[in-house]
């Protein structure tokens, strides 16, 4: 009987030791941001900055289980490190938590999937769901120079059946719009 109880206690302790520790949303966002930063710096010019506040929980860990969680992160960089004016643009990475590790899925991330943003640099996330992003940035007006687009636009991207993010709506905003 003592052997059976000792075995049961050892199994319980072992199972508890193997269970992944619960992480706070802040810890998850820091982990996802770090994974995306490493991914972005591997495929583009170095020194890409990714902050925890850039992480969007498309399928947060509170839904179902952590295995189904999915995060989108917008980052700015020069993929391929080609250099020159206009090469830095906004990109999207999709990350998950897999066996307690933060992983970017390159098959779901740009540049493998298309990220059809009409702006070079996204200035603001307006809203998002698990399959849409409404974003804001600036496009060039008739008098603008290459580096200073001034016309604010708001646009919505929706993921298609192939995983590409396609623009489904775009509208110009009044000049001086916040975030524009």
The DSSP secondary structure of 108-176, one letter per residue, reads GSTTTS-B--SSSSEEEEEEE-SSEEEEEEEE--TT--TT---EEEEEEEEE-TTS-EEEEEEEE--TT
pLDDT tens string 9-43: 343 333 434 455 677 889 999 999 999 999 999 99
Cβ pair 121, 90 in contact under 8 A: yes
Task: Check whether 119 has a pLDDT greater than 90.
Answer: yes
Q: What pLDDT, in 10s, does the model give residues 41-92?
A: 999 998 999 999 999 998 765 544 445 689 999 999 999 988 766 678 999 9
| Close Cβ partners of 62 (under 8 Å, ≥ 6 residues apart) | none
**Global pTM value:** 0.80
């Amino acid at each position: 009987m003592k052997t059976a109880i000792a075995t049961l206690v050892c199994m319980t302790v072992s199972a508890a030791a193997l269970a992944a520790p619960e992480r706070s949303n802040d810890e998850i966002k820091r982990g996802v941001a770090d994974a995306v930063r490493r991914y972005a710096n591997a495929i583009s010019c170095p020194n890409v900055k990714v902050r925890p506040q850039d992480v969007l929980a498309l399928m947060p860990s509170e839904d179902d289980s952590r295995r189904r969680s999915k995060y989108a992160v917008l980052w700015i960089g020069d993929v391929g490190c080609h250099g020159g004016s206009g090469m830095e643009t906004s990109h999207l990475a999709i990350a998950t938590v897999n066996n307690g590790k933060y992983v970017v899925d390159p098959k779901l991330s740009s540049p493998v999937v298309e990220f059809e943003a009409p702006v070079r640099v996204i200035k603001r996330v307006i809203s998002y769901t698990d399959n849409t992003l409404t974003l804001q940035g600036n496009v060039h007006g008739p008098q603008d120079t290459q580096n200073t687009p001034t016309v604010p636009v708001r646009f919505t991207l929706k993921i298609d059946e192939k995983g590409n993010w396609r623009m489904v709506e775009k509208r110009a905003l009044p000049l001086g719009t916040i975030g524009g």
